[in-house]
Structure 1
Amino acid sequence: MDIEVHAATHDRFDDLALMLGPKKNADASVCWCLSHRIPAKLNHELRGSERGDFVRQLTRQPVAPGVLAYVDGEVAGWAAVAPRADLPFARSTKIPRIDDLPVWSVWCIRVRPGFRGRDVSHAALAGAVEYARSNAAPAVEGYPVDNRGERVDLTMAFVGTRATFERAGFVEAAKTDAVAGGFPRVLMRRAFS
């Protein structure tokens, strides 16, 4: 199995829509991976197809909104990554800012059904790390659940698990006051030398 990871640029928008957009009703107000990317007020104002249009515009920016993982040429995974300063995490009261380093954040990892259990999430996370590094990030943070090996509800699994981040070279940098799916979230960081 061959897994390749590419920035989610405008020419890959259809693949991004397959990963993040509504599956049945094109006008449904699904997340589109915006709930942790934009301020809450704007997130609630964007409805239906406006959400996809907003993401389409993000793909036209100099920094892509994340990366897409492909298995044998078919889109299979996604990881959102961006400078923390550009995200609501910069003002979070639950996930601490531990220093003044201009870190990037990875906050959403998704794998399409049919591709789960095939290391796609690991490849997407590795691709997000490399994308941040290639854009001069000094470090990357993630805020996964510390589920101690217990099963995480799929609706909350997008934040990732501590083990997934550890496998990618991240180390715990701080505890948080955040919880997802009943599990505490930890701040994990991978610094670049």
Structure 2
Amino acid sequence: MPDFTIKALTPNTFDDFAALVERNKGMFSGCWCTKFHPDCPEKGQSAEGNRTLKQRLVAEGIAHAALVYDGDLAVAWAEYGSPEELPDIHHRKEYLATAERLPDYRITCILVERGRRGQGLAAIALRGAVDLIAQAGGGLVEGYPHDTAGIRKKNSSFLYNGTRAMYEHEGFAYDRPKGQGNCVMVRQVAPSTPTPNRSSPPVRGDG
């Protein structure tokens, strides 16, 4: 089995991330993993516009991800960030109506290179995101995977944030359903280095 390593998405690793996305046709119709970022004029206009937007957000330090490397090649990633960085989640109105508080971080997208799926890379990416969050001070972390219990088979191409079983294996607990087929999973992540106490952001109305 190869030895996989984790690197944070930064301006120094953006080209590796870009190469991974380009090999996989922009991921989800040229999204470039911008779907969950705040709305702006560039977002959703074109694949090239999404690429430019993602690169700008990374340069400004307001787009985060854990990249999984096989040698020098990035082969998977897990996007994470604060609710302010990633507000545009699926089923947002329902989510806000049932939330008691917002998390410190949310994990919104986990994707693995085509041809490399089924090797456990999604779980490695999730673990990498949790580790990077711990290094940043930890806190309450949410993920929104697919709850596939009772479903015979689901195409891995549509599992944009992994499965409930994978999150449970990585120490997350089920909180509540979200939309049709997704759920909210939560985990309190301890800081890997001492950090001042942080308060949770309040729940805000949609829009």
The TM-score bracket by the shorter chain reads: 0.7 to 0.9
The alignment of Structure 1 onto Structure 2 pairs a total of residues equal to: 185
Which secondary structure does the structure 1 equivalent of 2:59 belong to?
coil
Gaps of 5+ in 1: none
Give the deviation of 1:168 after TM superposition.
1.0
Scaled by the length of structure 1, the TM-score of the pair is 0.83
* Higher mean C-alpha deviation, range 87-96 or range 120-129: 87-96
* Higher mean C-alpha deviation, range 105-114 or range 151-160: 151-160
Give the deviation of 1:23 after TM superposition.
4.8
Counterpart Cα distance in 2 of 1:99 and 1:136: 22
Contact 2:9–2:66, Cα closer than 8 Å, also in 1: yes
Amino acid at match of 2:80: V
Rate the CA distance shift 1:21–1:137 in 2: closer, same or farther, 3 A: farther
Which secondary structure does the structure 2 equivalent of 1:109 belong to?
strand
Contact 2:8–2:67, Cα closer than 8 Å, also in 1: yes
Counterpart Cα distance in 1 of 2:100 and 2:132: 22
Which secondary structure does the structure 2 equivalent of 1:15 belong to?
helix
**Residue 165 (structure 2) aligns with:** 163
Rate the CA distance shift 1:131–1:41 in 2: closer, same or farther, 3 A: same
Counterpart Cα distance in 2 of 1:187 and 1:130: 20
In the alignment, does 2:124 pair up with 1:123?
yes
In the alignment, does 2:190 pair up with 1:188?
no
Contact 2:24–2:114, Cα closer than 8 Å, also in 1: no
Counterpart Cα distance in 2 of 1:152 and 1:103: 30
Amino acid at match of 1:150: R
Counterpart Cα distance in 1 of 2:24 and 2:103: 36
Which secondary structure does the structure 1 equivalent of 2:95 belong to?
coil
Amino acid at match of 2:68: A
Which secondary structure does the structure 1 equivalent of 2:60 belong to?
coil
Counterpart Cα distance in 2 of 1:48 and 1:143: 25
Give the deviation of 1:189 after TM superposition.
0.6
Contact 2:42–2:53, Cα closer than 8 Å, also in 1: no
**Residue 48 (structure 2) aligns with:** 49
Aligned residue runs from structure 1 range 1-193, under 5 A: 1-21=2-22, 23=24, 30-39=30-39, 43-44=43-44, 46-86=45-85, 87-89=87-89, 92-96=92-96, 98-148=99-149, 150-176=152-178, 178-179=179-180, 184-193=181-190
**Identical positions, percent:** 25
Task: Please provide the CA RMSD for this pair.
Answer: 2.6
Which secondary structure does the structure 2 equivalent of 1:59 belong to?
helix
Scaled by the length of structure 2, the TM-score of the pair is 0.78
